[in-house]
Amino acid sequence: MRKWLLAPVLGAGLLGGALGVSAFAVTTGQAESRAETFRQLELFAEILARVQADYVTEIDETASIEASIDGMLASLDPHSSYLNPDEFRDMQVQTSGEYGGLGIEVTAQDGFVKVVAPMDGTPAARAGVKSGDYLTAIDGVSIVGLTLNDAVKQMRGAVGTNITITIVRDNVEPFDVTLKRENIRPESVRHRAEGDVGYVRISTFNERTAEGLDQALAAVRKDVKGNMKGLVLDLRDNPGGLLDQSIEVSSRFLNGGEVVSTRGRRPEDIERYNARRGDRFPNIPVVVLVNNGSASAAEIVAGALQDRGRAKVVGVTTFGKGSVQTVIPLGPQKGAMRLTTSRYYTPSGRSIQGSGIEPDVEVAAVRLSDEDIADLQKRVARYSESALPNALANEQGVERKAPHVPANMPPADYKGEDYQLDKALELIRSGNATVSKTMAAAPAKAPVAN
């Protein structure tokens, strides 16, 4: 319930007059605002009618209105948007962690769809699809020049249905392969032993991530020979996902206490999310790997483990998405609205909106020179929250550090494959990633925004 602060009462007549004027002002203000809204809606209807009547070709009215709605939401911030019924279904499929498809991880390259890797045990793997192949047509219709999302949408479909893809491979004539779609459950969690250290990578936070992490943690404990010296949790290039999964993942490394808090438009719109007791490796150091592609739910996990003293964060500053979106279904055949409804804060009360999470140990993935900084500034401008159109400001005034040459980067003669991982392993084996004695203590209460 909202609490109102009233000035001391000086007299019954004066109070009554003041309340009367206040009520009139509110009513008048609301009426004027409503009238202005109606005027703007009339303007929209007039413009739509003119376009329908006079545009050089006939328009798709549904698509035009959807674009108008999406434009309104996009003007609020980069993450609010309208999802038409098809897009809403696609989003539900993505977050469910399984879908009907072929089992191919793909990317876009020069207008073509390129296979990154077929997933083990899937139709694509059994048919001999290889990493580096190019897909040029689906069911005889060219997909060259299509967006990656549109191409992927065509490859997915009902389980049991057939699809024919055209493959272009080096030194081989283009050929067709017909596949039957199956239920695909992509792995969001992978693991392996790095000698005496466990390694777990989380690529996204969908409905199956916590379940996959439990399996990975159990397996990696067996894979590491002898006493495990530490664990690397790799969240690099993880774009985020479901809030509840980030809390579940954090719970695997904490014994209770706050993981994240969210605050909405009104002071009373505050939620605090706590970890369940259940640290799977209570006496083992943890290092979290991050980069500027680590966003949203990935930043919640990194920020929670960093603030609580449970892990050292290694890498470069994260993306900086410190807001939470709520997906609001709009009814049958209307799709849904994805709306930014709150900001989130790490256990110590800091907002990382725009600024990102700065690592405890800054380590570059590649060697940089002073001449590379100009190019780096361009890339950061494209791949950080603060540079997106209409991005929310950091209300605590924290700004993202300007691009710079990290002190720790691969030497000129480095022959390894993953310098950031190598440094994380070195940090653990040297004893400099020890577990904090205060990790289970209750975090400082975040200040309430008024």
Within-domain flag for 287: yes
Do 215 and 278 lie in one domain? The reply is yes
In this predicted structure, the answer to whether residue 21 has a pLDDT above a threshold of 60 is: no
pLDDT of residue 1: 25
pLDDT of residue 450: 25
Q: What is the CATH number of the domain that holds 112?
A: 2.30.42.10
Q: What is the pTM of this model?
A: 0.76
pLDDT of residue 238: 87
Do 128 and 277 lie in one domain? The reply is no
Do 180 and 193 lie in one domain? The reply is no
pLDDT of residue 105: 73
pLDDT, averaged across the chain? 83
Within-domain flag for 441: no
Domain count, the chain: 2
Do 397 and 271 lie in one domain? The reply is yes
* Domain end call among 138, 163, 184: 184
pLDDT of residue 435: 59
What span, in angstroms and rounded, lies between the C-alpha atoms of 173 and 193? Answer: 40
Do 162 and 281 lie in one domain? The reply is no
Q: What is the pLDDT of residues 139-181, one digit of tens each?
A: 999 999 887 778 888 888 888 999 999 999 988 999 999 999 9
* Domain end call among 167, 184, 201: 184
Element (H, E) at 436: none
Q: What is the CATH number of the domain that holds 409?
A: 3.90.226.10
Structure tokens at 414: 């480095």
Region of poorest pLDDT, from 190-194, 270-274, 395-399 = 395-399
What span, in angstroms and rounded, lies between the C-alpha atoms of 95 and 98? Answer: 8
pLDDT of residue 150: 80
Do 161 and 195 lie in one domain? The reply is no
Catalytic residues: 296, 307, 321
Q: Which residues pair with 198 in a beta bridge?
A: 193, 231
pLDDT of residue 146: 82
Quote the domain boundaries for residue 123. 99-184
Residue range 279-299: average pLDDT? Answer: 91
Within-domain flag for 30: no
Within-domain flag for 21: no
SS (H, E, C) 200-268: EEECCECCCHHHHHHHHHHHHHHHCCCCCCEEEEECCCCCCECHHHHHHHHHCCCECCEEEEEECCCCC
Residue range 52-71: average pLDDT? Answer: 92
